[in-house]
Amino acid sequence: MSSDPRVFNFLKERIGLDVASVGEAIIERAVRQRSQAVQAQTADEYWQQLQRSHDEQQALIEAVIVPETWFFRYPESFATLARLAKARLAEIKQMRALRILSLPCSTGEEPYSIAMALLDAGLAPHQFKVLGLDVSPLSVERARRGVYGKNSFRGADIEFRDRHFNESADGFHISERVREQVRLQVGNLLDPTLLANEASYDFVFCRNLLIYFDQPTQKQVFDVLKGLTHEDGVLFIGPAEGSLLGRHGMKSIGVPQSFAFSRHVEPVKPEPVFVPIPAPPPPRSAAALPVKPRPFSTFSAQVVPIKAPPSDAADLLSQIATLANEGKSAEARAACERYLSNHPPAAQVFYWLGLLSDVAGSALEAQGFYRKALYLEPQHPQALMHLAALLESQGDSAGARRLQARAARSERADSESKR
């Protein structure tokens, strides 16, 4: 079934999805699946069913949204949250519970990670509450069940699982102590009445969502997020979104790899805080294909090479990924330099350098590294996405659109080659 702009417009209006950011092939694949499910023979026939049925509208959205998340992803964010939460409680003299928002919460790994991190840091249950929101009723229902498979526990350090989960034949069940800290509900960030009658939140997690919107929608969503975040609060975002928030007057709090922003200029000095969190996983295989991020899922910074390099190069690439994901930016950058000194230039190494520069706030340096990655691998998917977000934040919408179109063409060609 060929591209139908009516469907693209529907997804833009309902969930804000900019089709260029993910590629038309992903949307087309979802439409084919749903057309077969409802036995629609033509694009017009499916469109009519889509217009008539709220259930089919939601089914299409569910087919497009492919959540990819796990517990304690971006671990430094949770360590930073624990430290800031203690400071915030002292600031308000513990007169009320902290309010924390996670959206999109997907299948619950992030809001439950927030609760586990704060409980492990010594906060009492009455001192905080977490609200998780997601546009997908199916994802929210899975989060409410609180039963997870091994894929939700990644990395070598998963001791938290022994403390907070009960294992049974169907998986790992979140403990009642953690579950009671988290409320889950369906919600859409594009809804102007979202949480309109509720107080603002001390901490808001909204990661890897803005990069899937065009510039007007980014502004619309940012205004909603700003309204939901307390004036003294902190907003946690994804690695590629810092420059977007900077354009809207938000400032990094100065903790590397926390991706945390506030309205205040003064940076928060990082201090070591014990929060039991797992180490992020190394790349699965040196020869694995890079995974295309899916809309509204937590974005992965990890990229692995397409062609299998010599073993020592592969080991160094794995080391770079591990160091970067652990927040050890200086060590990761040094490993990248060692790779380039001893091996032929590699797109994924320049991509890592770009991401490290992006996180550090060096936009021009990051742009140069992303372009080097694309020189070596013109359709490198994550370099395209990150560079597009960077150009968009700098006001170069035309340049961002060109890169998004390249990514869409590559995704379409890849999809057609697999048919």
In the predicted structure, residue 288 carries a pLDDT above the cut 60: no
Kindly state whether residues 42 and 96 are assigned to the same domain: no
121-142: average pLDDT: 94
Cis peptide before 104 (omega within 30 of 0): yes
177-202: average pLDDT: 90
Q: What is the pLDDT of residues 81-99, one digit of tens each?
A: 999 999 999 999 999 999 9
Residue type present at position 408: A
Report which of residues 20 and 31 the model is more confident about.
31
Task: Note the Cα 212 to chain centre separation in Å.
Answer: 10
In the predicted structure, residue 280 carries a pLDDT above the cut 70: no
- Whichever domain contains 103, its CATH number is 3.40.50.150
Residues of the chain with pLDDT > 70, as a percent, come to: 80
Kindly state whether residues 44 and 109 are assigned to the same domain: no
Kindly state whether residues 38 and 90 are assigned to the same domain: no
> Do 35 and 42 form a contact (C-beta atoms < 8 A)?
no
- Whichever domain contains 338, its CATH number is 1.25.40.10
> Do 177 and 125 form a contact (C-beta atoms < 8 A)?
yes
Domain end call among 262, 292, 319: 262
Output the CA–CA distances (angstroms, integers) from residue 123 to 98, 146, 250, 382, in the order listed. Answer: 10, 22, 28, 37
Kindly state whether residues 33 and 82 are assigned to the same domain: no
Quick check: helix, strand or coil at residue 360?
coil
202-217: average pLDDT: 84
Residue 282 lies inside a defined structural domain of this protein: no
Listed range (62-71, 110-119, 185-194) with the worst mean pLDDT: 62-71
Kindly state whether residues 35 and 135 are assigned to the same domain: no
Kindly state whether residues 90 and 53 are assigned to the same domain: no
Kindly state whether residues 224 and 357 are assigned to the same domain: no
Q: What is the pLDDT of residue 309?
A: 47
Provide CB contacts within 8 A for 375, sequence distance 6+: none
Q: What is the largest CA-CA distance in the chain?
A: 63
Residue 58 lies inside a defined structural domain of this protein: yes
The span from the first CA to the last CA of the chain, in angstroms, equals: 13
331-338: average pLDDT: 88
Kindly state whether residues 88 and 219 are assigned to the same domain: yes
Kindly state whether residues 81 and 132 are assigned to the same domain: yes
What element of type H or E holds 234? strand 229-236
334-354: average pLDDT: 86
Residue 33 lies inside a defined structural domain of this protein: yes
Quick check: helix, strand or coil at residue 302?
coil
Residue 279 lies inside a defined structural domain of this protein: no
In which domain, by residue range, is 41 found?
5-64
Kindly state whether residues 96 and 196 are assigned to the same domain: yes
Overall domain count for the chain: 3
Kindly state whether residues 93 and 207 are assigned to the same domain: yes
Q: What is the pLDDT of residue 157?
A: 78
Pairing of strands 260-262, 182-186: unpaired
Residue 242 lies inside a defined structural domain of this protein: yes
Kindly state whether residues 40 and 80 are assigned to the same domain: no
Confidence band (pLDDT; 50, 70, 90) for 285? very low
Q: What is the pLDDT of residue 186?
A: 92
